[in-house]
Structure formats: structure tokens, C-alpha cells
Structure 1
């Protein structure tokens, strides 16, 4: 029985969080594009721009440091545990510190979804507002069907999914770029809605990102630079594809 939540028969589909990713995979997508604008996939984009391979890992993994040592990699700390010489989930720290060859990057949302998808037969791509045009062109050339997964955030307390508007915009940016490269691509209503939302805020994207709930939260915690980095400009040519467990940019 075909699930309606898999959004067949559309070329480009869009869903939220780990459960949405599973639904899309179960209904036969070939490529899963994970979007976590504030901040996992922005951090991945910045890292691979600098030549660093990134291993996604679910937040709170007890063996993160041990795995990093075994893989001859650096493990990123949480934002609050940062400091001079230390890379964290913050994309600003990845831009300012020395770029390691390999980085283990835990996060509670985008990274956890990427780790989940690594276990199934699907191509996984990390997309942000910075690299959405490059990802869209790559997707149009690669073919589909494509599932764009907006990671969302987690509510404190029960850990339930909080749909985060910045991830809807990031998903919409990718979808808009696919359509620009391949106008015949068909969009599910969910994908079309994400695209429309992005196009509506695109003229004022930087201010909208700073004013949305997740942006305000980061600014209040002292991470305004992360919001500015996430807002673009959309000039990155990096297309991070998960290969043998690691994100690295493809041509």
C-alpha cells in the first residue's frame, strides 16, 4: 500500500524531522536533502568549503570523543563549551579556527537525521541557505525523486519536534534552485509551499532570519555571527554528499 505521506508521484517532496525522513525513504526517494539552517548543515557547508570532511553524529552519543580518536578526527563541542582553539557546532568557530582534515559533528537535529539516513540506501546531501543554488543544480543533474527534509528543532522538556521556519526557508531555497535548473520538475504541495515561503522572504532574508524564533534565541545567547553566516550570501559551490559515513563536497 502506498503511503500518502511519501508524496508520490512528485519529483520533489518535502517533509519534517526524523519521522518525515523515514516516510520519504519508505516511498522510494533516491536522494535525501537534509536542511538544518541553524546550524548543522550551515556548519557542514562551511567545513567542506574549507576542505574538512564531516561525520554526522546524534547529539549526546557517549562515544563521540572515542570515535573521533579512533578516526583521527576532531570532535566538535557544544556551543557553550567553546573557546579559543576549539571547534563547536557554531559555524563561526569553524570559520575562525584551523580547519582539521576530519570533524565529528554532533547535533540533536540535522546530524541525527543524517546519521539515521546513512543506514539506508539513499544518497544524503547537506543543504543550507549558503549552498542552496549549488545543491539545486546538482540535484537537477543527478535526478530523483528527491526528498527535502527540514530538520526542525526540539521543544525543551518533552523533546517533541518544533517546526522551525528557517528550515522551511532553507528547504524552499533548495527547491527553488532545482526548479530554476529543471523547470519541468514536479513539486508536491508541501514542496511548493516551502518554495513559496522562501520566495516571499528572499528579498529580506537576513533580517527575517535574525527575527525568527531560532535566530532570536541564538542572538540572545551571543551567537549573532552564526545567524549572519547562515543567511548567506548564497555563493557557496559546496555540495556535501555523504560517502562512507563522511560529508565531502562533490564536483
Structure 2
């Protein structure tokens, strides 16, 4: 029987499991699900300045900020991508966490592909850590547990056998079931949803709230060369250890 645990942030990646599912509902994982469903390859990165340098060295297109009205972390903006597109999708949470994931299999999960992500994980192994990325407090940059990531993690966990869930995973499932009848309303009312709506990005919340809108599961692949090999320096990455990591990208399962 699969063993499923839900935990928060970077330290969750220390959990010894075959499979990690990274959940950043608003908005990296939701945007990722849209991009991969369009057939694009998505290169994660954390720091925007470093991401620009990475994109230049790899000859990749980097998405902009939402206000630029082009490709961005806004999920609907990525619905125009094609299978030939290769993009860098930086974000300080889910995208950044990916750079630290060393598990055999790493998947991108969210409400939009909850059932498919669980199914893919079950086909790959038995031990799964579902990583709720969380947000960052603006005052000091520390982890802010985020409602939307917790319930999205619970949505994914709900498709595994109940007896294999840790107590934390069971609590996340219960949290998801508590809002299942009005997912969009719940996301719109949470802190992250309110921030997006306040900046006129209500559509992002709508797209993120669509349960099982796609059966696409972003799967992490690794190149043979490292971030250090291509010329990135410590100033470009969130930690020195990343320079020794093989360059990674997500593509549809």
C-alpha cells in the first residue's frame, strides 16, 4: 500500500520518498499544468534575476510579470503555447522548490490535475511526499502556510487509499472535502486569492480552482549538464548546492 504524507515547504523535500508532488496552487503549479498540457517544456527557476541569466545562457524564453500582459505565471496566459515552446517559469515558491528536489520522480500537482497526479504517482511507486509549497511573508521571507496549497494537496491525497495516508495527509483531505462544493469561492476568499483579485487577476483564481480540468501531469526531467556547467554563479541561484544539480525541466506525462 502506498504511504502518503503531506508537509510544508523546502524541508518537506528532506522526506525520504520515491516520489515528490510539488503543489503551488496560486500559481506556479496551475500555470505549469496549462503549459505542459499545451506540450511545452517548462524550466523552473526561483530568482528572477538568475532566471534571466539562465534563460540567456540556455537560449530559452522567460515569462514576464503579469502586468506585462504576455506570458506569465497567469495560467490563462500560457494557453497559447505550442509543443515547440521551451520557457523558463520562475517563481519564489513551487518553481524554486523544484531546484532542491532530489527524489527519483518529481511531479507537478494542483487542483487542476489532482486525480491525474495521484494516478501517475501510484504508477511510479509507493512512498509519496506531497509538498505544499506555501507563500512567503513579505516582512522577513519566512514560510507562510497557504490555504490554497493545503487544500490542493488534500485534493491529490484524496485519490489515494485512506489507510495509506499519514495523519497530516488525512487532515489535508478533510480540509479539501470541507470546501469541495465551492472551491472557487474558497480560493477567492483566502489570502492569496484576495491578493490576486485585488490586482485584477480574478481569472487566475478561476483557472486554479477548476478541479480535474486536465489529465496532464508535469513530470520533471534532468539534463546531463549542471547549472554550474553552463556558467551560472552563486549570485544566480538560491543556494550553492543548486550549481551542482543537473538542469531540470517539466514536460507532460
**For this structure pair, what is the TM-score category when the shorter chain's length is used for normalisation?**
0.7 to 0.9
Q: Which blocks of at least 5 consecutive residues in structure 1 are unaligned?
A: 1-8
Find 1:115's aligned residue among 75, 96, 99: 99
Q: Which blocks of at least 5 consecutive residues in structure 2 are unaligned?
A: 223-247
What does 1:17-36 correspond to in 2, within 5 Å?
Answer: 17-22=9-14, 24=15, 28-36=16-24
CA contact 2:36–2:250 (8 Å) conserved in 1: yes
> Is residue 2:202 matched to residue 1:224?
yes
Report the secondary structure of 2:204's partner residue: helix
Report the secondary structure of 1:178's partner residue: coil
Report Cα offsets for 1:130-155 as digits up to 9, x if no partner. 00111111122222210000000001
Residue 173 of structure 1, CA deviation: 0.6
CA contact 2:23–2:109 (8 Å) conserved in 1: yes
Residue 249 of structure 1, CA deviation: 1.1
> Is residue 2:59 matched to residue 1:72?
yes
> Is residue 2:159 matched to residue 1:177?
yes
TM-score by length of 2: 0.85
> Is residue 2:45 matched to residue 1:63?
no
The CA distance in 2 between the partners of 1:59 and 1:107, in whole Å, is: 7
What does 1:224-243 correspond to in 2, within 5 Å?
Answer: 224-243=202-221
The CA distance in 1 between the partners of 2:17 and 2:89, in whole Å, is: 25
> Is residue 2:7 matched to residue 1:15?
yes
Residue 178 of structure 1, CA deviation: 2.3
The CA distance in 2 between the partners of 1:175 and 1:10, in whole Å, is: 11
TM-score by length of 1: 0.85
The CA distance in 2 between the partners of 1:102 and 1:91, in whole Å, is: 16
CA contact 1:72–1:102 (8 Å) conserved in 2: no
Report Cα offsets for 1:216-250 as digits up to 9, x if no partner. 11000110010000011413010111011110111
Correspondence for 1:5:
none
Q: Figure out how many residues of one structure are paired with residues of the other and give that number.
A: 227
CA contact 1:139–1:178 (8 Å) conserved in 2: no
Residue 59 of structure 1, CA deviation: 2.6
Residue 177 of structure 1, CA deviation: 1.5
